[in-house]
Amino acid sequence: MKAIRIHEVGGPEVLKYEDCPDPSPGPGQALVDVQAIGVNFTDVNTRSGVNPPATFPMTPGREAAGVVSAVGEGVTDVKVGDRVVYCGVTGSYAEKVAVPADVLINMPQGLDARMGAAVLLQGMTAHYLAYSTYPLEQGDSCLVHAAAGGTGLLLTQMAKLAGAYVFATVSTDEKAALARDAGADKTIIYTREDFEEEVRKATDGRGVNAVYDAVGKTTFDKSLRCLARLGCLALYGQASGPVPPVPTSSLPGSAFLTRPSLGDYTATREELVKRAGDVLGWAASGELKVRIGGTFPLSEAAEAHRQLQGRHSTGKLILIP
C-alpha cells in the first residue's frame, strides 16, 4: 500500500509518499480501507517538530473515514463492510490502517467519507468547547479566534445553537463573510482591527464570558483582557506558538484558564459515542454545515500542509488515497 511517512522533522518537504507493507488487524483491532483523511494542525505540529514523534519513520495523521475490510479477534462493535470514521489514532495518512475497534464510529446514512473525515475531530472539539469546557447558554457571549478555519466555523455554529452572541476574528474580508454565514454576530478583521478594543467597545467594557483560542502566543494576552468577570479562556491550540508561563496573578476578574484537549473529553467509549453521535447526526441532517476548503491526493500531502500552515485555507482540508 501507499502511505505518507516522515524520517525526520522539518518542513512540508519531509512528507514522503512511499510503499509500505499492508497492515493486518490484531486482537481488538479493525482494518479500515481509507477513503478520506482529515488534515489537522496537530499533523503540522508533529511534522515540524513542535510535538515530534518518538520514533522514525512514522506516518502522521489522526483522522480518517473508510470501510472496515477485516477485524481481529474479539471485535464485536464493528463488522466487515461497515462505513466508519475515527480520530485520535496516529497513522491515518495511508491507504489502509489498523486501529482499535473501540475508537471507530459508524457513519449515519447521508454522510459520505469526505464529510465524515472533515467533521469528526474538529466537530467534537467544537462540541466540547461550546458545551462542556464553558457550557454556553442563552444570552452568553464568546470570542472565537480563527473563525473561518475548520474548527472555527463549526464552533461558531454550535455557539449560536446554544444561544450565544459570537465575536469572530478572521484575517480577510473573504473569511469574514464565511464567519458571518456560519452565524457570527460581529466579525473582527485582526489584520486591521484590534480585537480587544472591538470586544470591549461592543460590550461596554464588560468583556465576553468565554474566549476560544487556538492561536496561542500572538493572541493570548489580549484574549485574557477580553474576558468578563468569571470568564473562561480555553486555550485549545497554539498555531502561532506556545504561550509562555502565565503567573496566576495575571488572571483578571477571577477568570478561569484551561488548556483542554479532545482526548480528555472523549476518554470513555460512552463520551466518544455521545459527542460523535451529535456531530455526525447534525452534519448528516444539514443542521451543521461543514465546509471542505480543499481536497488533495494523498501524494500531495505536503501541499495541504503548506496551505494549512500558511493560513491560506478556509474550512477543512482533505486527503484522498
Hey, what amino acid is at 6? I
pLDDT tens digit sequence for 300-321: 999 999 999 887 778 899 999 9
User: So what's the pLDDT on residue 315?
Assistant: 84
The domains found in the chain, sorted by start residue, are 2-120+266-320 (3.90.180.10), 137-259 (3.40.50.720)
- Other Cβ atoms within 10 Å of 110 Cβ, number: 12
**52-78 CB burial, b ≥16 within 10 A, e <16:** ebeeeebbbbbbbbbbbebbbeebebb
Tell me the three-class secondary structure of the chain, residue by residue.
Answer: CEEEEECCCCCHHHCEEEECCCCCCCCCEEEEEEEEEEECHHHHHHHHCCCCCCCCCECCCCEEEEEEEEECCCCCCCCCCCEEEEECCCCCCECEEEEEHHHCEECCCCCCHHHHHHHHHHHHHHHHHHHHHCCCCCCCEEEECCCCEHHHHHHHHHHHHCCCEEEEEECCHHHHHHHHHCCCCEEEECCCCCHHHHHHHHCCCCCEEEEEECCCCCCHHHHHHCEEEEEEEEECCCCCCCCCCCCHHHCHHHCEEECCCHHHHCCCHHHHHHHHHHHHHHHHHCCCCCCEEEEEEHHHHHHHHHHHHCCCCCEEEEEEC
User: So what's the pLDDT on residue 311?
Assistant: 76
What does pLDDT average to over the chain? 96
pLDDT tens digit sequence for 184-197: 999 999 999 999 99
pLDDT tens digit sequence for 281-297: 999 999 999 999 999 99
Its pTM stands at 0.93
pLDDT tens digit sequence for 40-96: 999 999 999 988 999 999 999 999 999 999 999 999 989 999 999 999 999 999 999
